[in-house]
Each structure stands twice: as structure tokens, then as C-alpha cells.
Amino acid sequence: MSINIKDTVKAIREMVPIIDPEDDYLTIAAAEEQMALKQDARQKELHDAHAKLKQLAKVLEAARVSATRPSTIPSAEEHVAHMNDLDATRLSLAKAINDAEGALAGKEAELARLKEETRVLETSDPAADHDLDATTLRLALYKGLGFEPIMDKGGRMLVRAESGDVHCLTFDDRKKSDEEYANELWRLASS
């Protein structure tokens, strides 16, 4: 199939009156303007889509961070181990509390018994129960303090000092007051 050049030229000449270059120019200009508008619209959509993508990427990263277990929170295994430790501690504390309550009950019973014994002892008079010689008790107390009276007409008292020395104090027919004699006895005992 070969095309004859003369036929082609003839066809083009026949089409020249039909073709209006100004009309075609306006059509082409309008098409370019439409394409420029479409290009701007596509660029704007692309820019908006890019901005939305960045925003969604930030939201995704925030969601990823919030979904990640922080290092301060123990893992599930650590949590179970910690709960088991706490259960064991709770059980040991419950046993200790139970033991302490038992001991407390025993001590309260002992306290009640001792209070009853105290009440009985406070109401009793041991001196009335026994015939005690108060003089003998006083002499034993004096001797324990280091004072030993000599029972004769002279009125003398042996005083054992802290140093181990023994002094003899004579009560000369009350030439001194009782207070002076008491001071002298304590002075000799503390020497």
C-alpha cells in the first residue's frame, strides 16, 4: 500500500477551507489552559495528600509509641513473678498476724490473771497474816545500809563506810540534834 503524494496534496488542499487556524489556536489555547488548571489542581491535591500523609505518619508514630510497653512497666512474666511474691508476702504476713494475735490473746489472759492477783494482794494484809517483829526488820534494814546499832547503855552505832572502814559514833546524851546526828551518820557512811 503505497500512498500517492499527489492524492495526499489534493486531500490537504480540499481541507484548507475547512480548517480555520484561529479556531484551532483557540481550541489548543483552551486545552492548554484546561491542562494548566488540571495540573494546578493535581499539584494542590498532591500537596494536600502529602501534608495529610505527614500528619497520618505523626499519628501513626504516636500510636506506635503509646502502644509500646514503657520500660518502667514490667513484662507479663515479671508481673506474674511480682504478683507471686506479693501473694507469698501476704500469706507470711497473715501467718505473722495470726501468731501475733495468738500471742496477744495469751498476754491479755496473763494480764487479766496478774490484775486479779494484784487485786487480791492489794486487799490482803500480809502483816496481819503473820506476827512480825518490826524492830527486827528495821535492824536488818539498817544493817543492810551499813549501820549497826550496839545495844548498850552508851548509845553507840557502828558505821561501815563505802571505803570499807568501820567508824563508831556515840550518841552523847543528845548534845546534838537528830538532824546533826543523821548528817554525821551519812557523812561517815559515804567516806
Q: What is the pLDDT of residues 131-171, one digit of tens each?
A: 667 777 788 888 888 888 887 776 788 888 888 888 888 87
CB 169 within 8 A of CB 156: yes
Q: 131-190 sits in which CATH class? A: alpha beta
Rounded distance, CA 44 to CA 46, Å?
Answer: 5
* Dist. CA 122–CA 119, nearest whole Å: 5
CA-nearest of 191, 159, 187, 155 to 173 is 155
pLDDT tens, 22-67? 777 888 899 999 999 999 999 999 999 999 999 999 999 998 888 8
Task: Give mean pLDDT, residues 113-128.
Answer: 85
Specify whether the CB–CB gap between 145 and 158 falls below 8 A.
no
pLDDT of residue 174: 66
What are the residues facing 157 on neighbouring strands? 149, 169
